[in-house]
Structure formats: C-alpha cells, structure tokens
Structure 1
Amino acid sequence: MKKTLFNIGQKSKLALQENISEKIKNKVLKDYCYLIKKNKSKILKSNDKDLNFAKSKKIKDNLIERLKINEKKINEILISINNIIKLKDPCNKILESWKRPNGLNISKVTIPLGVIGVIYESRPNVTSDVSALCFKSGNAVILRGGSEAINTNKVFSDLFRLALQRNNINKDYIQFINSKKRNFVDLMLSEMQNYIDVIIPRGGKGLVEKVQKFSKVPTIGHLEGICHTYIDSEADMNMAAKIIFNSKMRNTAICGATETILVNDKISQKNINLIFEKIYKKNCKLIGDLKFKKKFKGNVQIAKDKDWTTEYLAPIVSVKTVKNLDEAIRHINKFGTMHTDAIITKNKIKAQRFLNNVKSSIAMHNTSTQFADGGEFGYGGEVGISTNKLPPRGPVGLNQLVSYKYQIKSNGSIRD
C-alpha cells in the first residue's frame, strides 16, 4: 500500500515538470467538458451504483443529497469548468517589482503550490472542480474521495485524464486513489510529506479533525460551518424574512447554510412571526430559547448548550435572543467556526462594526450566507472554504492555489 502511494507521489512530481501554456490548459478543460457531456449516461449509471451502496449502508439523508448527481448537477459542473476557463492563469504573474540602491532588481512572482492531496467525502463534483482548479493553477492533484462515491469519482477523474492524454499532457497531473481502504488516508497524512505539498480535507468534522491532528503535511481546511445570521432591531423585516429563508432552506446540506439565527430582543412578536413563518411552514425544526418560544406562534423546542455548537446540515435551526449587537458578536466569536456570519440591518454603522469585529473568514451585511461559495465569488469554483487564520481564508479558488517566490537580478552586485 505504501509502495502504491509513493508511486503515485513520484508520478505527480514528474507531471509537474511539464510547463503548460494557458492556451493548452484551457483546451484540456474544454475537452473535459466535451467528454462529460458525451459520457453523461455513464456518469449517471455510476452514480446510481454509489447511491444504492450509500442507501444500503443507511448513510444520512444530507450525505445522500450531497452524493447525488443528476442532469442539473452535471450542468452546474460544466458551468463551473467553463467559468474556470474564462479566468486568467494565475501562474508566473509578477505581483510586485522594485529596484534597490544596492543594484538588485526584485520581482515577486506567483508559482504553483506543487502537489495537492485532497481528501473528501460524498460530493463527486469535488472531483471535477478540484481537478480543473488545480490543473489551471499549475498544480498536480492526488484525489482520495469517500468510498460511498467511488464509482462516480472514478468516472470524473478518468475523463479528465483522457482530456490530458488527448492534448499530449502527462495524465498524472490528476490521480485518483481507486480504493475504499481507509489506510490510504492515514498514509497520505503520515508518509507522503516528500511527495505532497499541501493537504485539503473536504468533509465532516471527524475527517477534518483527523487531518488537522495527524497530518505531517501543511493543511488548508475548515472544521465546520456553524454559520450565524444576526437580525438587528433596525433590520428591514421583510428583507430579513427573505434572507433567513434562503440562508437556511435553499440548501440545508452545505457548509454555508445558516445554523444559528440571533434575534434582537427588541424585535416585536409580529415581526418574529413574519420572519420565521415561511421556514416553519417548510418543516424547518426550530430550536430556541425561552424568549423566542414565547414570541413565536409555532412549535419551538427549547435549546440546550450543544445546539449553539451544532452544524445540523438539515432543516433544523437554533434561535437565540440577544440584547444588542455586542452580545451577537460575542456569541458568534465564542460558538462560531470562523466560516460565514451575517448581519441584517439598515444601520450602516452597526453593520460595519459587525463586519470588523466578527472573526469569520467571510462576514456579510444584508446577504444570505449561502453565497459562501467560490463560484459565487467569481472564482469559477472552489477547493473548499478555509477558516484558517493564516492565508488563504474563505473560498479557495484559482488565485489561492498559488504561492510566490522572489526573483532577483543584478549586474554582478556583491554585498559589502
């Protein structure tokens, strides 16, 4: 097993030696789109196998939803790849340049990160998104998807490798570990530091905690998406109702879904019911404190401490009443995961105070937290959302998958 992984790592390093122009990169991605369209039925059949396996293992409904590929999701994948094609190649760009009195001409130039290892669960679209982003940014990638999606992932990765071959590019820019054995993950984390430059985990809390705890390779990732939306006393209540519905219910299974709603104590009973009526009618379970329970006409389960630290990924939301903006900020900074947090208010001074003081990697004003997505940021797609304090933070797209080096030229300068 170790020998197999080392061989994969060596192939990735070898692939990186090729210098590929932006024109050829885009040609590969266009061919990949063509192959996905041509093999749509094959993708759907493979996904049916994975769905049947997942259901037989009684995998949770929210994970089944993430696993599912249909015509709509294939079209979304194609849109994402086409958006990546439109973006400029981020490699070999001069970020800054300057001259020094000592005769040095210094340039700060972007370079690929190298070999990226991605460990992920459930979502087969990660295979296509990550492959496209890593390749366009000049990186090789080693993919290790979850066992529940192995058939779909293999088809997507095989099609990308075929697109590379058609353009006479080393197909090992993209490699997929076609095995359900969990030991491969352990070995990637503990034995591959000579081959992998960065590990990116995409999955549940257990996976990300494991990667962060045991990886000997640098990591980019987020632990959970416990996202908050705070409704201020000076909010437009109709806007609040609209944003809350979208933030929670548009897609409950994504990490950008709002999991806790904070409501200002001054908001009237009438407005509380206006805001929460629509999500309640859509069978969203409300878990709230006593003050909220007294104001809302529908059924409310009393919240426990664990509810403020729970990522539901389902039509469930916790609601807490707060006295003011400062209490809302304190709650978010204590219980949040530095993912995405929003304020709804007409008061621009309060909004700016919120944006400045929450620790989130993405802070929003009068905006649905469901916009926490690289595609929506104009990145074409994302490898994930980083909640690390060190860069990159937020959606990790094309321009976040490069580092830089300093290139220095002179006319024979020597130091005194």
Structure 2
Amino acid sequence: MPSTVTDLAVRARAAAFDLAAAPRGAKDAALLAVADALEAAAPALVAANAADVRRAEEAGTPAATVDRLTLTPERVAAIAADTRHVASLPDPVGEVVRGSTLPNGLELRQLRVPLGVVGIVYEARPNVTVDAAALCLKSGNAVLLRGSSSAAASNAALVAVVREALGKAGLPEDAVQLVPADDRETVQQLMRARGLVDVLIPRGGASLIRTVVEGSTVPVIETGTGNCHVYVDEAADLDMASRIVVNAKAQRPSVCNAAETLLVHEAVAAEFLPRVLADLADAGVTVHGDEAVRGIGGDAVLPAGEKDWAEEYLSYDIAAAVVPSLDAAVEHIRRWSSGHTEAIVTGSQAAARRFVQRVDAAAVAVNASTRFTDGAEFGFGAEIGISTQKLHARGPMGLPELTSTKYVVTGEGQVRS
C-alpha cells in the first residue's frame, strides 16, 4: 500500500487510542470550539466552496449534485449548530448496555466503547465532512475522510478549521484527517487497510456504495440508496396526503429520503390524482405514470416503465402508479424498494398496522413525510449515514451506532473449575 494512506491510518490509530480515554467534558469542549471556529471561518469556507461549485457548473454537473455541493453562510451556520447539538448529546462511551451478577459472584458488565478508526468515503457533500468528524469525535473515534475530488477545496478548508480547533482544545489533531481525493486509488487503499481501519462507511450513490461493499477487506456499514415510496390508502385524508407527497418529493429532492414513487389506491385515484398532480406540477415536479395515472393526467404525465420503478431520481421527478389494494402496494414496494423509508397515508389504524408489519425498511412513516428519516430530525444530532443493512446498525446512525461493546468481568479471586 502506498505510504500516504498508511501513514494517515497509523496516525489515526494513535489518535484513536488517546481519544478513547478522553472524558466527555474534553470532547464537548472541543466540539464547541469547532462550531465557533466554523462560524468564524464562514466567509473563507464559502469562498473555498465557490471554487468547487464553479468547476462543477462548468463541467455540466446536474443541478441536484451542485445543490448538495454548495455551502452558503446559512448552511455553514446550520453545520455549526449541528455540531453544538452533538456536543449536547449523551456520551455513549462507557454506557452500560447490560449487567448482572453471575451465580459464582462474578460481576459482568457490557460497556459501549469506540469502534477505533472509522473511514468515510463520500461524494460531493461538504456537510458530511463536519457531521462525520463531530459524531466520530463525540463517540471517541478517529476518522479518515475521503470525500470526492469535486469538493476538494471545500473539504480541505473545513478539515483545516476542525483540526486547528481540536489542537487548541487539547485533543489530537490527527483524530480528523482528510484522505487525498485526487487519485481514485486512495479509496482502494482505504478498502485494503484492514488492521489499521476498523470500519468503512460509504455515503453516496449506488455505484460508490456497491464498489466499497463488494471490494473492501475492511468491515463495511452499508448506507443504502433511497428508492422511497409514499402509498395513499383508500382511507387517507386526501388534503393531508397531497401535502405529504409534495413535501416528500419536492422539499429537497436531491437527498436519499426524498420520495421517488407514489402509489395510490384505486378507490381514491379519480379524486386524489388530479389534485396531487396539480400540486406536484406547481412544485416543478415531473410525473412518470402508469397507464391509469396517465389516463387521468393526460399528456402532462410521462409514461413510466420498469426503469422508473427502480429509479432513485434525486431530482424533480417522481414515478406514480394506481394499485388495487394495500397488499398490492406492499408487493410493489417489496419488489422495488431499497429498504430505506416507506410511508403510508391512511386514517385506518388497521391499514397502518398491516403496512408497518409487512413493509421491510429501515424506517416506516405513518401519515408523515419520508423526509423525516434523518439523524437530526430523530434527535440524534448530525448523522453518519442511514444504514439499510441489518447487522450492527439500521436506519439513521447516530452516536450509539458508532460504538462497539466490550465485557468487563470483575471478581474476587474466582477461578474456573
């Protein structure tokens, strides 16, 4: 392995050793210092980011990607606020998960401990740089940040601010390090750094996630893509349903918890579809519909095929279909869902229970937008990602999900016979 990533990982491991024993007060003070430093450096951060945005626009990057890349003074302030929120949260390190006294008198406790060195591989989202650093610091982990080359100037500026603040606060600067993004080989190096890096977390599109999951020798926590559905049941409040659909799709379409497919029960399709199609059009959303939806929406609705049911648009587009029953909606979701977030709008408790029981996803929303599947919205502070796998962590990953456990056995001289 070339020395660059090896050296970074070795330094991160040394920092993780020191950070694991840091008391909560030291970590919280450092996070508050980071938040203050980000706000003070906001003009410089926005200026560095502007260079990345300009290059992206000149390269013809899609608008949704440019939006994820962009930093504004307001977004920097929001990142700082999220960092302060993380500082205010309970420290998971040292928490007793369970404990007991065994019949032989041994005292047994299972404690939360840091994972160690966490590698994050992510695309053009500079906010992830600080979110990941804050969550890893609070949970006692060192972090290696490998962002995309399209955000290189932004990430370098952000990490420089974070590292300086850590040093001034008395924590090891090497707890947060930026892996060079000018060579794709650095991702491969991280993926092969078993023994130096304890876990990798990819955040981005399906191709990036698949590459890391399939090629890494380092354990991976998979954060999945978001092919999210909203099902409008026959017992739905249709005014509520339209508000939820438009919010789930259009409030911020470039993120993984935005809705990509609308399913409508046939019993309310004739009344609901004209209303929601008009509301979606007002929000600038293009609808790709099946034959039944097109029969109501006419030429304003584009034809939908299998590609649309599988698509994570991340844009002002949504697929739509009419289904004959709740079970048919569930079957559609079972076939096409990425297991991220699924929503039902209904006034029937029985329908809600059946949907919740039968849909297999990291989060299921009842009479609420899919956009709420988010660490900050759940009260976790900033999130490290939304896991769609079933081992170790599932759903928005906050501080507890960035820990492992160890058993502490305390005795008074007992020996095993």
- TM-score (normalised: structure 1): 0.98
- For 1:143 and 1:268, the matched residues in 2 are separated by 47
The residue matched to 2:261 in structure 1 has which SS? strand
Query: What's the counterpart of residue 65 of structure 1?
Result: 67
Instruction: Give 1:13's aligned amino acid.
Output: R
The answer to whether the 8 A contact 1:273-1:297 is kept is no
CA distances 1:323-365 after superposition (whole Å, capped 9, x unpaired) = 1111111111111010000000000111011111111000110
**Aligned CA distance change for structure 1 residues 221 and 141 (closer, same or farther; 3 Å):** same
Report if the CA contact (8 A) 1:209-1:223 is conserved.
Answer: no
Task: Return the alpha-carbon distance in structure 2 between the equivalents of residues 314 and 325 of structure 1.
Answer: 27
Deviation at 1:58, TM superposition (A): 1.8
Aligned to 1:231: 232
- Structure 1 equivalent of residue 3 of structure 2: 3
The answer on whether the counterparts of 2:148 and 2:181 sit within 8 Å (CA) in structure 1 is no
Instruction: Write the distance in 2 (CA, Å) between the matches of 1:77 and 1:155.
Output: 14
Residue equivalent to 2:353? 352
Matched, 1:93 2:95: yes
Indicate the residue corresponding to 1:265 in structure 2. 266
Contact 2:224 2:340 in 1 (8 A): no
- Quick one: distance in 1 between partners of 2:208 and 2:332? 26
Deviation at 1:301, TM superposition (A): 1.1
**Residue aligning to 1:147:** 149
Unaligned runs of 5+ in 1: none
**Amino acid of the residue matched to residue 118 of structure 1?**
I
1:316 matched to which residue of 2? 317
Which residue is 1:299 aligned to? 300
CA distance in structure 2 between the aligned counterparts of 1:365 and 1:178, rounded to whole angstroms: 43
Match of 2:380?
379
Which AA in structure 2 matches 1:264?
Answer: H
What SS does structure 2 have at the residue aligned with 1:175? strand
Give the Cα separation in 1 of the matches to 2:374 and 2:181: 29
**Which deviates further from its counterpart, 403-412 or 126-135?**
403-412
Query: What does residue 403 of structure 1 align with?
Result: 404
Deviations 1:100-146 (A, max 9, x none): 11222110100001100000001000001000000000000000000
In the alignment, the residues of structure 1 paired with residue 299 and residue 246 of structure 2 have an alpha-carbon distance, to the nearest angstrom, of 16
Letter in 2 for 1:243: I
Question: How many corresponding residue pairs?
Answer: 415
Q: Shift of the alpha carbon at 1:178?
A: 3.2
Deviates more, 1:335-344 or 1:263-272: 263-272
The amino acid that maps onto 1:276 is: L
Name the stretch that deviates more: 139-148 or 390-399.
390-399
Which residue does 2:137 correspond to in 1? 135
8 Å Cα contact 1:259-1:312 kept in structure 2? yes
Alpha-carbon separation, structure 1, partners of 2:394 and 2:117: 20
Query: Aligned-pair distance for 1:147?
Result: 0.3
Q: What amino acid sits opposite 1:83 in the alignment?
A: H
Indicate the percent of aligned positions where both proteins have the same amino acid.
33
Letter in 1 for 2:227: I
In the alignment, the residues of structure 1 paired with residue 273 and residue 203 of structure 2 have an alpha-carbon distance, to the nearest angstrom, of 35
Are 1:15 and 2:12 an aligned pair?
A: no
1:295 shift after superposition = 2.1
* Helix, strand or coil at the partner of 2:331: helix
Once the 2 structures are TM-superposed, how far is the Cα of residue 297 of structure 1 from its aligned partner?
5.4
Go from structure 1 to structure 2 and tell me whether the alpha carbon gap of 1:268 and 1:259 turns closer, same or farther (over 3 Å shift).
Answer: closer
Letter in 2 for 1:119: V
Q: Residues of 1 paired with 2:16 and 2:223: CA distance?
A: 27
The answer for the alignment partner of 1:124 in structure 2 is 126
Q: CA deviation at 1:391?
A: 2.6
Q: C-alpha root-mean-square deviation of aligned residues, in Å?
A: 1.1
Q: Name 2:395's counterpart in structure 1.
A: 394
How far does residue 403 in structure 1 lie from its aligned partner after superposition?
1.0
Preserved CA contact (<8 Å) 1:222 1:387: yes
Distance 2:38 2:224 in 1: 31
2:180 touches 2:186 (CA, 8 Å); kept in 1? no
Moved more, 6-15 or 292-301: 292-301
8 Å contact 2:265–2:324 — kept in the other structure?
Answer: yes
How far did residue 17 of structure 1 move? 1.9
